[in-house]
């Protein structure tokens, strides 16, 4: 199985990088895991609604350029559907069983994901109503993907 994260912006903090590197390493026995960063659109602090839409749209184009038709796409969105870890694990297992060997997760930039990205997604997943910074979201998501594989393996990692 190929699992890909398409994310807006660079990972700057060393402590996030160390955590993501660790879980990426652990994931390597279950899947081919990679992270693709697309550049964020440089913008001033205060933007009008239409300027914000424009920023998200440009970032959205960069995201969609990295996604092939065959990929099953999860968009990370605060208003998406919440799952328990066990439900998420079951979903991943089912996708693999039904021939989806390319699964992609998309994390937006500081303004979020453009409507066209949400439209392309096969499903939207929420980690609750808290807004997490995109770098931390990357780490939390990577751990949850690892947890899903450990649950499916029946490992005591998940309690
Ligand atoms: C700083 S947040 C963007 C906040 C923006 N106001 C929004 O509503 O999307 C950056 C990205 O992290 C992801 N994200 C942050 N918190 C999340 C949560 N609780 N559930 C799912 N995704 C989240 C989303 O992909 C979001 O586009």
Whether ipTM tops 0.95, in short, is: yes
Q: Which residue(s) pair with 36 in the sheet? A: 6
C-alpha 154 – ligand 1 centre gap (Å): 30
In a domain, 79, yes or no: yes
What pTM does this model have?
A: 0.97
Which residue segment(s) compose the domain that 22 sits in? 2-42+49-153
**Choice between 158 and 90, residue whose per-residue pLDDT is larger:** 90
Q: In what order do the strands lie in the sheet with 72-82?
A: 32-38, 2-8, 102-107, 72-82, 123-126
Indicate the Cα dihedral angle 116, 120, 126, 131, nearest 10°: -30
d(CA 135, CA 23): 14
In a domain, 89, yes or no: yes
In a domain, 57, yes or no: yes
In a domain, 61, yes or no: yes
Binding-site residue ranges for S-adenosyl-L-methionine: 76, 108
Q: Is the pLDDT of residue 156 over 90?
A: no
In a domain, 29, yes or no: yes
CB of 5 shorter than 6 A to ligand 1: no
As a whole number, the mean pLDDT across the chain is 96
In a domain, 159, yes or no: no
Q: Is the pLDDT of residue 95 over 90?
A: yes
CB of 83 shorter than 6 A to ligand 1: no
* CATH, residue 99: 3.40.1280.10
In a domain, 58, yes or no: yes
In a domain, 7, yes or no: yes
Q: What number does the ligand 1 atom closest to the CA of 108 have?
A: 27
C-alpha 102 – ligand 1 centre gap (Å): 23
CB of 131 shorter than 6 A to ligand 1: yes
Per the structure, the count of domains in the chain is 1
Longest dimension (CA), the chain: 50
User: Residue 31 in contact with residue 96, Cβ under 8 Å?
Assistant: no
CB of 145 shorter than 6 A to ligand 1: no
Exposure string of 97-108, with b = 16+ CB inside 10 Å and e = fewer, is eeebebbbbbbb
């Amino acid at each position: 199985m190929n699992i890909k994260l398409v994310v807006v912006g660079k990972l700057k903090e060393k402590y996030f990088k160390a955590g993501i590197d660790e879980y990426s390493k652990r994931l390597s026995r279950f899947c081919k895991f990679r992270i693709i960063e697309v550049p964020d659109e440089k913008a001033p602090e205060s933007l009008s609604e239409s300027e914000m839409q424009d920023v998200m749209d440009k970032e959205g184009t960069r995201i969609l350029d990295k996604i092939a038709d065959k990929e099953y796409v999860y968009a990370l969105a605060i208003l998406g559907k919440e799952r328990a870890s066990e439900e998420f694990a079951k979903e991943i297992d089912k996708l693999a069983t039904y021939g989806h060997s390319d699964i992609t997760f998309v994390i937006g930039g500081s303004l979020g994901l453009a409507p066209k990205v949400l439209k392309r997604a096969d499903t939207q997943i929420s980690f609750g109503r808290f807004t997490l910074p995109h770098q931390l979201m990357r780490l939390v998501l990577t751990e949850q993907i690892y947890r899903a594989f450990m649950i499916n393996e029946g490992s005591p990692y998940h309690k």
